[in-house]
């Protein structure tokens, strides 16, 4: 826990303005997706709680007795996420949220022409096809920006309506928002003129205070979640609805000028020139089935991806056209893209650099890897003309009307900060940044909180204070619906088989736990509710809760890669005591003192699969326990269970090759650590638990991760795809 507190304190330094209680989320970062901003916001919430910057405990704070006053400036995705994160941890804080516009999530509300996908900018990494953010709070699924707003606001309402949580105060249309230092260094003063609104949805309150009234107050902590400021040229704002992605209804051909060399400009270039373009589908539509080319692209991503700063990508992509291993795939992609070029548009791409190849170098432009790749292929099939000429000259040369100019020249970030902050606070930011590389305010968009963190009140060190009732359904993380349904069906079949042999009375439970990475650790997640006798399930669902992969009987099976079974005729009391060295209670409730039999069957993957980097080649663990006196599963019956499980994993591997309509098994990113050798049964557990050596666990024929979910990345068969 001390290490976690120290790590949290170090992380806070990337958010804090030196010498002040002012913290900035993501304003100076280059990864500017909604998803990355939410992760930065939740990382800040985790660090603030663990470092005790914001007090939180396992007991919900009493209304009116908060020990900390927090101001969150901005009610966009970052602002709502950091607030939801603090609320989910039971922060002993009075939180006030300020929004300069008239609504929550104002930029994306009603934005129907932009598509949001949480992981598309990770392409071609593992997990980039997953269309769900998989966040513990304010989760969402890929959709139009306006629909994502609806999803997130529904999740926001769930957080606010959870019992015993203090609701924040919300002010919209906050004008004259000024943040100043006070006489001391521990607080900041905020002045504003704003309208108090319903914090649930931003609508007006039926109170006399809805009119804009000037106010001021001091805060112990001020979090700037203002994003990156408004665009420099707002004539055709990125988030406003327009029709450039639609076919023309009145003219056979129109010429456009797209000005800029960032992701926004590249996306609009692609929308203008590719028919039926959608940001998250185009990659599968072009590259699915072309394994030689895709493997080469993945190798290039390792060298030139978004986290790298190396030049030379343009030349490397051109070499793929000449390479005999990839030339055929390259030609087919170019031909497929050429067929999809829109015939009602022409586009001039105005750049600051003279050579298009410079657009691919991080020193002159910051564009995501996937957009560089698509723009490269668009260029190869003559989809646009790049130019560094003066804008007025280009408009005259090509007869482009002013309303067909799309400018993506970045945002007015510094102007926004100057408007909000006192001169001293702004100068503190400028002084710290200086010319340092990387930027001192650069914040990771990799998850830093441990699995199940935001489903438990208080700091990590307070988890021992959580009651037994809550432990039966706590530490939950996102569980895909199709995965839960699949696991429920499989476990109910196993339970049906066992119930025919199970004596009465006595509870019987069967559940499947899948191995999955959340944050920086691999966990075992209960993939379905317990199946079995009528009393197997509690009053609340236990599905989706997580366990450290070394804890309990399932953790022992995960580490040892052998079937774990309680010894014949072991006393329930001895079995219960055995759970202490296995740290079961650290992440679960105490095992019932009536349980006299436990069984854990690991579902193994090939141990030497190419690219396998998980700590243990285990896809999941089946768990069985029973309270029936004398119940025991003999080797003969165990082999029958293993045969059923073996058929189950074989079906899953076949399904990976032939996905079911829009449901796909999406392998998420691994932990990036080498596989560990199998563990051994602790000597202290001898005679209580056994590793079964005469029955081999079921093993899949290919690497397997159980993560079935809905996805529009279903296989697309193009005319020439292999």
Render pLDDT for 94-122 as a digit per residue (tens, 0 to 9).
999 999 999 999 999 999 989 999 988 88
Higher pLDDT, 313 or 415: 313
**Quick one: pLDDT at residue 106?**
93
Angle at 403 between CA 390 and CA 243, to 5 degrees: 125
Q: How high is the pLDDT of residue 671?
A: 67
Output the pLDDT for position 602: 97
User: What is the mean pLDDT of the segment spanning 281-286?
Assistant: 90
Q: Is the pLDDT of residue 579 over 50?
A: yes
pLDDT score of 721 more than 60: no
Confidence of residue 717 (pLDDT cuts 50, 70, 90): very low
| pLDDT category of residue 208 using cuts at 50, 70 and 90 | low
Q: What is the pLDDT of residue 411?
A: 76
Q: Which domains does the chain have, with CATH numbers?
A: 2-230+413-453 (3.50.50.60), 234-407 (no CATH), 467-710 (3.30.450.40)
Cα gap 110→239, rounded to integer Å: 9
- In residues, how long is the chain? 722
Q: So what's the pLDDT on residue 718?
A: 43
Q: Is the pLDDT of residue 184 over 90?
A: no
In the predicted model, is pLDDT for residue 715 greater than 80?
Answer: no
SS3 string, 275-318, reads: CCCCCCCHHHHHHCCCHHHHHHHHHHHHHHCCCCCCCCHHHHHH
Window from 51-65, 105-119, 292-306, 596-610 with minimum mean pLDDT:
51-65
User: What is the pLDDT at residue 719?
Assistant: 43
Per-residue confidence (pLDDT) for residue 347, from 0 to 100: 96
At residue 535, the pLDDT reads: 92
Mean pLDDT of the chain: 89
* Mean pLDDT calculated for residue range 1-26: 88
The per-residue pLDDT for 170 is 95
Backbone phi, then psi, for 432, in 5-degree steps? Answer: -65, -40
- Angle, alpha carbons 530-533-538 (nearest 5°): 50
State the average pLDDT over residues 53-71: 77
pLDDT at 611 over 60: no
Share above pLDDT 90 across residues of the chain, in percent, rounded to a whole number: 65
Q: What is the pLDDT of residue 185?
A: 74
pLDDT digits (tens, 9 = 90+) for 240-259: 888 888 888 877 889 999 99
pLDDT, position 143: 92
Query: What pLDDT is recorded for position 426?
Result: 93
* Greater model confidence, 594 or 614: 594
> ω before 625 within 30° of 0 (cis)?
no
Task: Kindly state the DSSP code that residue 603 receives in the 8-state scheme.
Answer: E
Q: What is the C-alpha to C-alpha distance for residues 569 and 597, in angstroms, rounded to an integer? A: 9
Percentage of the residues of the chain whose pLDDT score is greater than 70: 93
Is the model's pLDDT at 210 over the cut of 90? no
- What does DSSP assign to residue 347? E
Q: Is the confidence at residue 613, as pLDDT, over 60?
A: no
pLDDT value at position 116? 92
Residue 560 and residue 110: Cα distance in Å, rounded?
A: 52
65-79, 323-337, 646-660, 667-681 — which one is most confidently predicted on average? 323-337
Contact 228, 264 (CB under 8 A): no
Cα distance between residue 1 and residue 463, in whole Å: 11
In this prediction, residues 701-708 reach a mean pLDDT of 91
Angle of the 313-322 helix axis to the 291-304 helix axis, nearest 10: 160
Mean pLDDT value across residues 661-675: 77
Residue 672 has pLDDT above 80, yes or no: no
């Amino acid at each position: 826990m001390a290490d976690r507190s120290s790590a949290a304190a170090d992380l806070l330094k990337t958010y804090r303005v030196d010498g002040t209680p002012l913290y900035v989320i993501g304003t100076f970062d280059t990864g500017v997706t909604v998803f990355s901003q939410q992760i930065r916001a939740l990382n800040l919430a985790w660090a603030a709680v663990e470092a005790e910057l914001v007090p939180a405990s396992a007991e919900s704070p009493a209304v009116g007795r908060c020990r900390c006053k927090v101001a969150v400036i901005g009610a966009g995705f970052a602002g709502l996420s950091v607030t939801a994160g603090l609320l989910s941890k039971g922060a002993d804080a009075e939180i006030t949220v300020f929004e300069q516009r008239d609504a929550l999530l104002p930029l994306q509300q009603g934005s129907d022409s932009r598509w949001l996908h949480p992981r598309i900018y990770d392409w071609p990494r593992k997990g980039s096809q997953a269309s769900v953010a998989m966040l513990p709070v304010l989760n969402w699924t890929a959709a139009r920006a306006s629909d994502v707003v609806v999803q997130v606001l529904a999740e926001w309402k769930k957080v606010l309506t959870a019992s015993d949580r203090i609701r924040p105060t919300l002010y919209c249309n906050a004008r004259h928002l000024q943040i100043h230092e006070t006489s001391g260094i521990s607080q900041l003063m905020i002045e504003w003129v704003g309208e108090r609104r319903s914090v649930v949805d931003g609508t007006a309150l039926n109170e006399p205070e809805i009119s804009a009234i000037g106010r001021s107050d001091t805060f112990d902590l001020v979090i700037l979640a203002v994003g990156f400021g408004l665009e420099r040229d707002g004539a055709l704002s990125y988030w406003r609805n327009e029709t450039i992605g639609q076919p023309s209804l009145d003219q056979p051909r129109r010429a456009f000028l797209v000005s800029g060399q960032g992701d926004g400009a590249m996306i609009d270039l692609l929308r203008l020139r590719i028919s039926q373009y959608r940001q998250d589908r185009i990659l599968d539509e072009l590259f699915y089935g072309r394994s030689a080319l895709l493997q080469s692209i993945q190798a290039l991503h390792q060298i030139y991806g978004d986290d790298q700063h190396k030049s030379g990508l343009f030349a490397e992509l051109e070499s793929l056209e000449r390479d005999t291993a990839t030339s055929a795939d390259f030609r087919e992609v170019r031909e497929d893209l050429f067929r999809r070029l829109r015939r009602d548009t022409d586009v001039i791409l105005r750049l600051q650099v003279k050579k298009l190849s410079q657009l691919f170098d991080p020193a002159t432009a910051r564009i995501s890897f996937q957009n560089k790749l698509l723009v490269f292929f668009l260029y190869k099939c003559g989809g646009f003309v790049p130019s560094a000429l003066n804008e007025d000259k280009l408009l005259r040369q090509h007869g482009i009307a002013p309303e067909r100019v799309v400018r993506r020249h970045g945002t007015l970030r510094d102007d926004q900060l100057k408007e909000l902050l006192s001169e001293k606070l702004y100068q503190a930011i400028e002084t710290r940044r200086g010319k340092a590389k990387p930027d001192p305010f650069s914040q990771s968009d990799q998850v830093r909180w441990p699995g199940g963190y935001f489903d438990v009140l208080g700091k990590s060190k307070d988890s021992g204070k959580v009651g037994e009732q809550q432990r039966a359904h706590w530490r939950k993380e996102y569980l895909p619906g199709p995965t839960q349904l699949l696991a429920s069906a499989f476990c109910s079949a196993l339970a049906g088989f066992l119930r025919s042999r199970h004596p009465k009375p006595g509870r019987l439970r069967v559940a499947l736990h899948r191995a999955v990475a959340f944050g920086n650790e691999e966990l075992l997640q209960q993939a379905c509710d317990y199946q079995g006798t009528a009393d197997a399930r509690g009053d609340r669902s236990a599905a989706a809760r997580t366990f450290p992969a070394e804890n309990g009987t399932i953790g022992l099976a995960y580490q040892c890669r052998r079937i774990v079974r309680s010894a014949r005729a072991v006393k329930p009391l001895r079995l219960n005591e055995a759970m202490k060295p296995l740290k079961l209670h650290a992440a679960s409730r105490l095992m019932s003192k009536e349980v006299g039999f436990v069984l854990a069957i690991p579902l193994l993957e090939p141990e030497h699969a190419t690219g396998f980097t998980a700590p243990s080649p285990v896809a999941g663990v089946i768990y069985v326990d029973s309270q029936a006196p004398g119940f025991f599963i003999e080797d003969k019956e165990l082999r029958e269970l293993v045969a059923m499980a073996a058929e189950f994993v074989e079906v899953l591997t076949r399904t990976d090759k032939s996905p079911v309509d829009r449901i796909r098994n999406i392998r998420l990113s691994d932990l990036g650590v080498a596989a560990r050798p199998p563990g051994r049964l602790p000597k202290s557990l001898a005679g209580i638990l056994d590793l079964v050596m005469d029955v081999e666990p079921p093993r899949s024929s290919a690497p397997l991760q159980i993560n079935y979910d809905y996805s529009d990345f279903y296989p697309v068969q193009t005319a020439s795809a292999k």
